[in-house]
Every structure is written in structure tokens, then in C-alpha cells.
Amino acid sequence: MDIDRRQFVLGALAASCAAVEPAGAEHAAPVFIGDMHSHLFFFGNNTPAKKPLGRSMAAGNATLVAWSLVGDVPWLRITGKGIKQKGQPRRGEAIAWFEDDLARIKQHIADENLKLALTPADVDKALAGEPHVVLTVEGATFVEDNTAPLAHAYELGVRSVQLVHYIENPLGDFQTEAPQYDGLTDLGRQVIEECNRLGMLVDLAHCTDIAARQALEVATQPLVWSHSSVTRTRQPNWKMPVWQARQLSLATAKLIAEKGGVVGVWPMRADVGATPESYAQRVWELGEWLGDDHVAFGTDMNAISRPAIASYADLQKVVRYWQKAGFPGESIHKLAIGNFARVLKTAMSARQA
């Protein structure tokens, strides 16, 4: 990506003023959408019954979507200061929650006639336009005190594991509470090693900066930071407003990129602005900072209030915005789906028998 900020603004202005599609656009190959982090919940307003995943994906030509099971949701509450812990799982409770919720998720996927992305070949099919869902877990609470449950999760179809989320855990420090471990624990390191061995993509989102850096030292495969944004003006810490605490420093984002990883951008209104166009600008800008091989969509779909991106149809607006501005098609493909697909295939392909 060699379009500087001034060229981006000029291109964006041209896009906003364009009255017609670019010449030949009606004959252009479709741009498929990948999302490194999304949700549906079996309670509240954002349920599969109200928002069937197949229909949502089809509306935006989304063909590689990570559905993230929240591993600690029974022990969370929403407060005026964000999401906070309300309890601690007793032994066996976290794996029971994981298995029950995963069964519900897989049933909905089957009901929607969608397929799971289990192998690199499945990811290739998604790249070619066949919709696939990646099963992921947000917060590896279910491992408790050893790595054995990871193999069980793999057999159930999980292909990506986010280490930490919002509750105290035995793996490492998370961004929105005071640190306890000065980064990762020994078990946290072992979980990364086991995920690499099994062929599961490791997600560092919600890790503190030091925990993320330690993870990069341990990992033998590229890692992702599936959702939030990158700041180059401050060092995020747990005392900041939640959306700022959840940001990733540019220096650490560059380390993720140097290891072949990918950083996903969320559509948090307070962070990236209120429209698909403002989101498009932030994603493209991050591509300029890290290189266009290292940025992707990470919408946190259905878990953000009043987001700039509320549907996969909105992500197609992002793609059209870039196209009208005249940005390179290869770069658009990478950001839209290619980078997520590549890093996921890399992790899967590293599986050891």
C-alpha cells in the first residue's frame, strides 16, 4: 500500500462525490468478506432467531466469519464502567458452559446450511465464495489448570482461541483490570504452544501489552489481534476509558505484523467514527501503518452498541468506498478477507500429528 494520507483523503472525496460506479464495475468479480470476530447470543436482542447467520452473511457476501463463543459470559455483568466480573466459575463449570453453548452454536450453523471451516481446504472454499464459519472462543476459561481441554475443543471444531477476556484467569493479564501476573503465566505460555501444535489460531485480543509481547516470543506461528484498534499516541492501560484501554499500541501491532500476524479493526463509534466511510478510513490507515498484509475486519458484530458497522452489508459499503476511491484491488481483497484467510490457513497447516 503506497497511498499516503493526502492521497487517501483526495480519493475519499472523489468517492463521496461519485454519482456512478467505476467503469466496468458491474462486471467486476465480487469481493468476499471475512470477519475475524463476531457474535450471536442465545439471550437478549442479538439472537440467531432474530438475526439468522446465513441471511446476515449472504446480505454482505461474507464467506469467512468467525463466530466467537464467549467463554466467561455467565460470570460477567454490564455496569456503568463497562463489563465487569460478577463471579468465578467453580471447577467444571467453564467447560460445561463451553460445551453447552458450542452445541447451540453448531446447531444453528447446521440449521442455516452453513459449513464449518476446519481445514485449509475449507478456507480456500470460503475464498472462492462458499460461506464458512470459523468456531472461536473468547477467553480460554475452559482450560482451567491444564492444556488438555484444548484438544477436546479442537475435536469439537474450534479453530481459534482468544486467551483472555474479562474475568480473572490462570493464563495472563487482561487490559481492563489491574495486572496480576506481569503478563502471561506459565500455563498461558503452554496454551500457546499447544494451540500451535494442534493447528489452532491464537488470538491476543484483550491481552495487556506485556502479555501480548510475551506471547509473540513463545509462539511458533503467526498470531492475531482480532478486534479493537491501534493507537500511536498513547500507551493503553486499565485505568483509561474502556475503548482506550482496549486499544493496541502501534509498537506491539508492528511486532504482530513482523511475525506474520494480522490486526483486526472494530467499528466502535467512539474510536473509529459513526459511519462505514469513517471505518473504511481507519482500516485503510492501519494498512498504511502495518502493511496491507497485516490488517483485517474484526467487527465484534452484535456486541457493540451503535457501531459504525452493523451488518455485513455495511462492510460491502466499505469495499465500494475503497473501489470508488481507486484503491488497488489486490489490497482491498487482502483487507476484506485475504489476510484473515492466510493467517488462519497458516495456523491450521502447522498442526502436528
How many other C-beta atoms lie within 10 A of the C-beta of residue 199?
20
| Assigned domain for 45 exists | yes
Mean pLDDT of the chain: 94
| Assigned domain for 2 exists | no
DSSP assignments along 281-316, one per residue: HHHHHHHHHH-TTSEEE---BTSSSS-S--SHHHHH
| Assigned domain for 199 exists | yes
3-state SS class at 18: coil
State how far the Cα of 341 lies from the Cα of 297, in Å rounded to an integer: 11
Query: How would you classify residue 157: left for phi > 0, otherwise alpha for psi between -120 and 50, otherwise beta?
Result: left
Nearest CA among 181, 313, 286, 291 for reference residue 228: 286
CA dihedral 77, 202, 261, 164 (to 10 degrees): 30
pLDDT band, residue 179 (cuts 50/70/90) = very high
| Assigned domain for 4 exists | no
pLDDT band, residue 19 (cuts 50/70/90) = very low
Q: What is the pTM of this model?
A: 0.93
Q: Please, where are the H alpha helices in 34-119?
A: 53-59, 93-111
Res 285 pLDDT > 60: yes
| Assigned domain for 49 exists | yes
Res 23 pLDDT > 60: no
Res 9 pLDDT > 70: no
Domain extent, residue 152, equals 31-349
pLDDT band, residue 237 (cuts 50/70/90) = very high
- 84 - beta bridge partners? 77
Q: 236: which DSSP letter? A: -
Contact 96, 138 (CB under 8 A): no
Domain total for the chain?
A: 1
How confident is the model over 52-61, as pLDDT tens digits?
Answer: 999 999 999 9
State how far the Cα of 7 lies from the Cα of 11, in Å rounded to an integer: 6
Question: Which CATH number fits the domain that encloses residue 119?
Answer: 3.20.20.140
State how far the Cα of 247 lies from the Cα of 262, in Å rounded to an integer: 15
Res 210 pLDDT > 60: yes
| Assigned domain for 21 exists | no
Res 278 pLDDT > 80: yes
| Assigned domain for 36 exists | yes
The mean per-residue pLDDT over the stretch 75-95 comes to 95
What is the predicted pLDDT for the residue at 353? 65
| Assigned domain for 19 exists | no
Res 165 pLDDT > 80: yes
